[in-house]
C-alpha cells in the first residue's frame, strides 16, 4: 500500500497505546492504525503516541519500526512519544505542548485528530479526551480539532475504525483572541496588571490598562485565573483549569 501525503494540509494524530495482549508488537499495532487512518484520507504528517506510566515499550525501537513502515507506504510521518504520569494537569499540558511544538515546526494551519484504541488504559484515554477539549481553545494558534477516531483492536490484530463525536468544551464560554493572549501572558509569569499590560502592548497591540483589567476579570469569572492580594496590589496566576489551556 502507498499513500499520498498532503503537504498543504498537515495533520497531527494523537493515539494512546493499547494495553491488551495481541499477537504482535506495539509498533505493528500502530503500523496497522496508520494504514486505517490513511485509508480515511486523513494522512498524518505527525504522530504523537501517548505512553501509559506502566508501559514497558522500548521507545527507540518502536519509533524506528513505525518510521520504517511509514516509509514503505510513502508516509513521511514524524513521531513523538509522550509519557503520562497520572497527573491530569501535567499530562494534558505535556500533550498540548507537543501539539504546539508541531504547529511551530509546520508553519501552517495544523489539523489535529485524536484516535482512541478501545482497550487503551482508562487514564490515558481520559487524558486524550481532556486534551481534545483544550485543543479547541487553540484556534488562535491556528490549530483545529478535526475529530476523533475509535480504533477497535480484536485478538487477531484487526483494527476497525469508527468516527466519534468530539468532546464538549471544558468550560462553557469561548475565549476571545484578546482573552487567550492575556491568559498566555499570565502563564509566562507576568503577575500584575501593570506587567501584563506592558507585555500585551509590546507583543500584540496598544490597549489601555483598564481594558486589560476587564479581560482579567472575565478570566477570573471563567475560572482560568485567580487573583490574590489587596486593591492596587493584586497579583494574578493561572488556576489548574487555566494551566490546561495555557500552562
User: Tell me: the pLDDT tens digits for 69-121?
Assistant: 777 767 677 778 888 888 999 999 999 999 898 888 877 888 888 877 766 77
Task: Give the Cα separation of 110 and 143 in Å (integer).
Answer: 5
What pLDDT is attached to residue 235? 94
Collapse the DSSP code of 226 into the 3-class scheme (helix H, G, I; strand E, B; otherwise coil) and give the result: strand
pLDDT over 80 at 174, yes or no: no
How much is the pTM? 0.82
Task: Give the Cα separation of 187 and 19 in Å (integer).
Answer: 35
Within 110-154, strands assigned E span 110-117, 143-153
- Packing angle between helix 177-187 and helix 209-221, nearest 10 degrees? 90
Asked if residue 166 lies in contact with residue 128, where contact means CB atoms within 8 angstroms, the answer is no
Each residue's pLDDT tens digit, 177-220: 999 999 999 999 999 999 999 999 999 999 999 999 999 999 99
pLDDT band at 164 (very low <50, low <70, confident <90, very high): confident
What pLDDT is attached to residue 213? 92
Q: Look up residue 242 and give its three cell numbers.
A: 487555566
Task: Give the Cα separation of 148 and 114 in Å (integer).
Answer: 5
pLDDT over 60 at 20, yes or no: no
Task: Give the Cα separation of 71 and 2 in Å (integer).
Answer: 9
Asked if residue 76 lies in contact with residue 82, where contact means CB atoms within 8 angstroms, the answer is no
All domains of the chain, ordered by start, with CATH?
11-164 (3.40.50.11700), 177-246 (1.10.10.10)
What pLDDT is attached to residue 121? 77
Asked if residue 161 lies in contact with residue 150, where contact means CB atoms within 8 angstroms, the answer is yes
Amino acid at each position: 500500500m502507498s499513500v499520498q501525503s498532503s503537504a498543504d494540509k498537515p495533520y497531527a494524530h494523537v493515539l494512546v497505546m493499547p494495553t491488551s495482549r495481541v499477537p504482535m508488537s506495539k509498533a505493528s499495532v500502530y503500523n496497522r492504525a496508520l494504514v486505517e487512518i490513511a485509508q480515511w484520507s486523513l494522512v498524518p504528517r505527525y504522530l504523537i503516541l501517548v505512553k501509559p506510566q506502566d508501559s514497558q515499550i522500548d521507545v527507540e525501537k518502536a519509533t524506528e519500526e513505525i518510521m520504517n513502515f511509514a516509509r514503505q507506504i510513502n508516509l513521511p510521518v514524524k513521531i513523538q512519544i509522550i509519557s503520562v504520569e497520572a497527573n491530569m494537569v501535567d499530562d494534558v499540558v505535556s500533550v498540548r505542548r507537543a501539539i504546539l511544538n508541531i504547529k511551530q515546526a509546520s508553519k501552517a494551519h495544523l489539523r489535529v485528530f485524536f484516535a482512541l484504541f478501545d482497550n487503551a488504559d482508562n487514564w490515558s484515554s481520559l487524558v486524550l479526551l481532556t486534551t481534545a477539549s483544550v485543543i479547541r481553545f487553540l484556534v488562535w494558534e491556528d490549530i483545529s480539532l478535526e475529530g476523533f477516531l475509535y480504533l477497535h483492536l480484536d485478538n487477531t490484530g484487526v483494527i476497525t475504525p469508527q468516527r466519534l463525536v468530539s468532546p464538549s468544551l471544558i468550560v462553557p464560554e469561548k475565549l476571545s483572541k484578546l482573552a487567550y493572549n492575556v491568559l498566555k501572558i499570565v502563564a509566562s509569569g507576568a503577575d500584575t496588571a501593570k506587567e501584563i499590560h506592558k507585555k500585551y502592548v509590546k507583543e500584540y497591540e496598544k490597549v489601555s490598562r483598564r481594558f486589560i483589567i476587564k479581560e482579567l476579570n472575565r478570566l477570573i469569572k471563567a475560572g482560568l485565573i485567580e487573583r490574590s492580594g489587596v486593591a492596587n496590589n493584586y497579583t494574578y496566576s493561572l488556576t489548574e483549569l487555566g494551566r490546561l489551556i495555557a500552562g
